Chain A
């Protein structure tokens, strides 16, 4: 089916065409066209769900040097197939949602254009057959995210956030390139199939120095920390919430941040023989998971909580990858895409409905006095409940299945501390999301009844497109758990992800344990999740009884101030960098600016003086005088000629 290149290029290029159409043709798009440019490729890619084959499609040769041939070539195997479905499916749902969300906003044309362009670059990223083409998509999604985060360009915070995101991404890109170079130096090729074959051989037979390939792996992980927001390059993701909510959902929950996971999955044969690199990834990711979750427990902006949640969940995914639980990571990526997008879009709907209020302490002002917002926003309440259930890992939500498939290998490997950290992370996940849930939907209006209008007036209704998209995502969040069911549920359907990864030679999971151990891990995870849920519930009810409002909490605590990481970066990295620049400028300015300026001034002065006094001999007064000077020049030329040429 998909051997036909036409179909393939239609899928790949339609979003690009959509972006160009939006840039150059459409004047006032409503967004339905952007939705079609993503939905039609999704429909075109549906047949490949059933015909799961490996296809290599050759585009053209980008650069040909002696012995090297950089080909624009696309690889459509099970992994990229899965990612394409995910990107296009969730992408089209989010496009549909943004039709309703952006209905009253400005700048729709460039919004939809960049949204389409983003999908195109993401497709290039996952369909590329070589590292450099992936890098092209990698940079492209970074660029589009810059434009989309800074969509509200008149807000300074948005501009700064866009800058921060792009610069941090760029720092990561440096790592990508260094890793790419190091790998290339040993394999002379950048194609995945060849790298995955030759590099492990080189390492195992010790023909290549291990330190160089370890360094390359670390550099590639550095790129992943930049793109997928791990320690230390994660601070851009919460700031990126300045962009419109569909952007946060698409880019920072479902697709772009998963690019790092995809990269490591693609190169998993290589990483499987670099155990030291995987150790580094494991510890970094698990620390990130816990740190981000801790910060999320004390944030008051609904979108920032979800942003830190994304960082934390990505930490889970990387931990799974570090222990070669590839199927588990991919499964968690997919389930996370669904329920995080659901949560973000619901949050966006909540924010829109409540007149752009993002602080969860103030959202209760819109509620009634006897009941929380759940009675006024029933649909959103249900959607959020579904998303929260899945995220927390409560029984039979999709997060329950996927998190367990990551925690299981962690338990089986000999890393008790990491297992402990991830359990703490699960606990905190449930805690922060239910804290958010209760504070938004259950908090009664406790303001003195000076403004009853806000509480009792009816809130604007939800646009149909938004409601429909949320429904799709909610259903999807639960259905996606069918894609990789654990052993004891395999009678329902076989684990699709496992099988597909096996098909392309990536081992779904290296560490396999007994059923009893798996049940032990499941019970631990479930216990932490339920414990987190109850702690959140309990503290909410306890706080309500005190009736002290939000003044009792410590506003300058560590967690609330994000552990001061932004401030540390600013003090120790940004300021020295800027001052070095200033010092260089001070050092170089006399030579590059003042000195040429002085020369120019002297010429100007000379010309003025000569002009004033007549300057007869320098300015020919007639053509003949000019001609005489010309002959002098000619004479000089002939003189030179005599010296250098001999007859």
Chain B
């Protein structure tokens, strides 16, 4: 059941599809929070591509970078959500709604 190295291009293309879908959602959604979730989709699609490369070249630096990115995404989520909460609380404004 383990992954075969010949299928690495499949994985890469798939991660690219996911990334582009996340980008589409980011550009289209009008709710701030769901926008943020699409951002996370993009980051994780990138993680998937990194995992594919790491598998292909049999190097662990990719895995290291994935760990790092997970941590960074966590911090970014915290800070971004704080900002969204602040915006909402102070001004009741959704930065992405049509106005």
Contacts and interface: CB of A to CB of B under 8 A. Distances in A.
Interface stretch (A2-10, A280-288, A375-383, A624-632): A624-632
Interface in A613-631: 622-624, 627-628, 631
A623 B87 CA distance: 16
B23 A623 contact: no
B23 A624 contact: no
Nearest to A634: B23
B27 A627 contact: yes
B53 interface: no
B27 A622 contact: no
Interface in B69-99: 95-96, 98
Interface in B12-63: 23, 26-28
Nearest to A627: B27
Nearest to A629: B27
A101 B74 CA distance: 80
A622 B28 CA distance: 11
A622 B96 contact: yes
A631 B27 contact: yes
A623 B95 CA distance: 9
Contacts of B28: 624
Interface in A593-645: 622-624, 627-628, 631
Contacts of A623: 95-96
Nearest to B97: A622
Contacts of B96: 622-624
B97 to A, nearest CB: 9
B26 A627 contact: yes
- Among A622, A623, A624, A628, residue most surrounded by chain B Cβ atoms (within 10 Å): A624
A617 to B, nearest CB: 16
Contacts of A622: 95-96, 98
Centre residue among B23, B27, B28 by max chain A CB count within 10 A: B27
A624 B99 CA distance: 13
A624 B98 CA distance: 10
Nearest to A624: B27
Contacts of B26: 624, 627
B32 to A, nearest CB: 11
A628 B96 CA distance: 13
Contacts of B98: 622
A79 to B, nearest CB: 72
A623 B26 CA distance: 10
Nearest to A622: B96
Contacts of B95: 622-623
A631 B26 CA distance: 12
A621 to B, nearest CB: 8
B55 to A, nearest CB: 21
A15 B76 CA distance: 64
A627 B96 CA distance: 12
Contacts of B23: 631
A622 B23 CA distance: 16
A624 B25 CA distance: 10
B12 to A, nearest CB: 14
A627 B26 CA distance: 9
A623 B32 CA distance: 11
B20 to A, nearest CB: 9
Contacts of A624: 26-28, 96
Contacts of A627: 26-27
A635 to B, nearest CB: 11
Contacts of A628: 27
A622 B26 CA distance: 12
Interface in A98-136: none
Contacts of B27: 624, 627-628, 631
B84 to A, nearest CB: 13
Nearest to B30: A624
B95 to A, nearest CB: 7
A628 B24 CA distance: 9
A631 B27 CA distance: 9
Contacts of A631: 23, 27
A138 to B, nearest CB: 64
B31 to A, nearest CB: 11
A627 B35 CA distance: 12
B53 to A, nearest CB: 16
Nearest to A625: B27
A631 B98 CA distance: 20
A628 B29 CA distance: 12
Nearest to B20: A631
A631 B23 CA distance: 9
A624 B28 CA distance: 7
A253 B1 CA distance: 102
Interface string A508-523: 0000000000000000
A460 B95 CA distance: 86
A483 B28 CA distance: 99
A623 B38 CA distance: 15
A624 B29 CA distance: 9
B24 to A, nearest CB: 9
A558 B95 CA distance: 88
B9 to A, nearest CB: 13
Interface string A69-106: 00000000000000000000000000000000000000
A631 B21 CA distance: 13
B27 to A, nearest CB: 5
A627 B29 CA distance: 12
A628 B28 CA distance: 9
Nearest to B35: A624
Nearest to B29: A624
B19 to A, nearest CB: 12
14 contacts: A622-B95, A622-B96, A622-B98, A623-B95, A623-B96, A624-B26, A624-B27, A624-B28, A624-B96, A627-B26, A627-B27, A628-B27, A631-B23, A631-B27
Interface of A: 622-624, 627-628, 631
Given A624-B26, A627-B27, 6 more contacts: A622-B95, A623-B95, A623-B96, A624-B96, A631-B23, A631-B27
Query: What are the nearest 10 A-B pairs in CB distance?
Result: A627-B27, A624-B27, A628-B27, A624-B96, A622-B96, A627-B26, A631-B27, A631-B23, A624-B28, A623-B95
Interface of B: 23, 26-28, 95-96, 98
